[in-house]
Amino acid sequence: MALSRDTVVETATRILREYGLGDLTMRRLARELGVQPGALYWHVASKQDLLVAVTEALMDTLPVHDDAVGLGDWLASTLLPVPDAADVVRVALAWRPEVVSALAAFEELAGAAGVGAGVAARQAWARGALDLVLGAVADHQEGARAAAARETEPPAVEHALERVREAMERWARA
């Protein structure tokens, strides 16, 4: 059966989940799909395009939230099990921020968080909320990597989630 964009993106997402960004190469992806590397470029424009699509896939189950704490918690829970998730989302953020649906979701919560001085202020607040979540996720995953290297106890996911919760509370105070 023929390749499709969806298959390419799904397989890429699976490689990311299992092995991280270092193993998500076009060549490795092609091998996994049983095609030549060049074949991928019929379905995606570039590796960047692929990473944007992967980000979309990671966020496509985003439910509606009515406060920043809930949204931050969902986002962190979603990204924490995915190695290098923060880096991938940052690529999408740099290239096509509109696909990062969590950003738009934060933007809609800006009013409830006591931000009211125009669109620019709400966008800045939303981006700040996202930066706090991505930073906490990256920090936790770096800690996990370091612990694995030293063969010590890895940090608990609950600590990362608790930190995100506190950050969202602080950031969203009226």
**Binding interface with DNA (CB under 7 A):** 2-3, 24-28, 34-39, 41-43, 46-48
Footprint (CB under 8 A) of a copy of itself, residues 95-124: 121, 124
* Residue 56 is a binding residue for a copy of itself (CB under 8 A): no
* Residue 75 is a binding residue for a copy of itself (CB under 8 A): no
Which partner in DNA, a copy of itself, none is near 109 (CB below 5 to 8 A by kind)?
none
Which CB contacts under 8 angstroms, 24+ apart, belong to 134-140?
134/79, 134/86, 134/89, 134/90, 135/86, 136/76, 136/160, 136/163, 136/164, 136/167, 137/76, 137/79, 137/80, 137/85, 137/86, 138/86, 138/87, 140/80
Which partner in a copy of itself, DNA, none is near 119 (CB below 5 to 8 A by kind)?
none
Shortest Å, Cβ 36 to a copy of itself: 27
Residue 128 CB contacts under 8 Å (≥ 6 apart), including other chains: 171
Short-list 135, 138, 41, 27, CA closest to 84 = 138
Can you give the binding site for a copy of itself, defined by CB under 8 A?
Answer: 90, 93-94, 121, 124, 127-128, 130-132, 134-136, 138-139, 142, 145, 163, 166-167, 170-171, 173
